[in-house]
Amino acid sequence: MALKFSNKVAVITGAGKGIGYEIARQLIHEGAAVALNDIDAALAKEVAIKLVLEGPGKCVAIPGDASDHAFIHKLVRRTIEEFGQLDIAIANAGKTLFGDFFQVTLEDFQKMVNLNLQGSFFLAQQAASQMRLQGKGGRILLMSSTIGLRPYPHLAIYSMTKSALHMMAKSLVLDLSPYDITINTLAPGATITDRTLLEDPDYENSWREVIPDGKTAMPSDVAKASLFLLSGDASHITGQTLVIDGGWTSLSPYPSSIDVVKNISREKPGPLSKNHPESL
């Protein structure tokens, strides 16, 4: 039986762990060659070796800062040098910043915009330029969040950047469709990753209380949806946002722990919390 992504080459940012890692893993299991990026060079190399051993696809680590414009050019160029083509680009790298609105600095703001927006935009641009040159179409996927669809306490900048990705996909349909390149956005809800468990060891139970289907997502749930949008089965889907949240955005209730956070913040603004780059 033929593998779904045989002879396809993908580049994915922020894929050393969490959702990005799982998307890379599933693509490789379906025969794809993957250029795996992460800002942590040691982690990227370790993960790439592990995924190569799992096969049957291929994987090479290309570590670097996905918010850096010059590095994005290098990332796409290195992918072509390694595998000779580029068919799929996934702008997964992202940064979350919790904090009081009144405490946000210009540096905080620029770091968030540079990674979540600038990095995604220019990866799409560089990947699409290569796909246009190849003349065989392609797939681009942007990684947003349900927090780009619904407000959430202390996440103003993050939600702004994630919301902008939905309009990016809709706008770029006009530029990319003539070249048979689709572009879509994925909006995961509460998902169990190393980062979310670090924020709240009881993350799974806290969230499943308020998710209509009673389940907190795993990275594999998001990856399976990603592979659908990246496959030939989704050739007539573009400019759309696929929400994976167990129905949470229907009502958008917060876990009970959020009420505690809001009460504390009214008493005294707390410091901003800078998390490692990874999509929510």
203 is catalytic: no
The catalytic residue among 58, 158, 179, 215 is 158
| Active-site residue (options: 4, 17, 95, 162) | 162
Query: Do 221 and 248 form a contact (C-beta atoms < 8 A)?
Result: no
Q: How far apart are CA 20 and CA 92, in angstroms?
A: 6
Question: Is 111 noted as a catalytic residue in this protein?
Answer: no
In angstroms, the CA 205 to CA 216 distance is 8
Contact 95, 267 (CB under 8 A): no
User: 244's torsion region: left (phi>0), alpha (psi -120 to 50) or beta?
Assistant: beta
What's CA 17's distance to the chain center, in Å? 11
Amino acid found at 249: T
Three-state DSSP class for 228? helix
* Residues recognised as catalytic: 158, 162
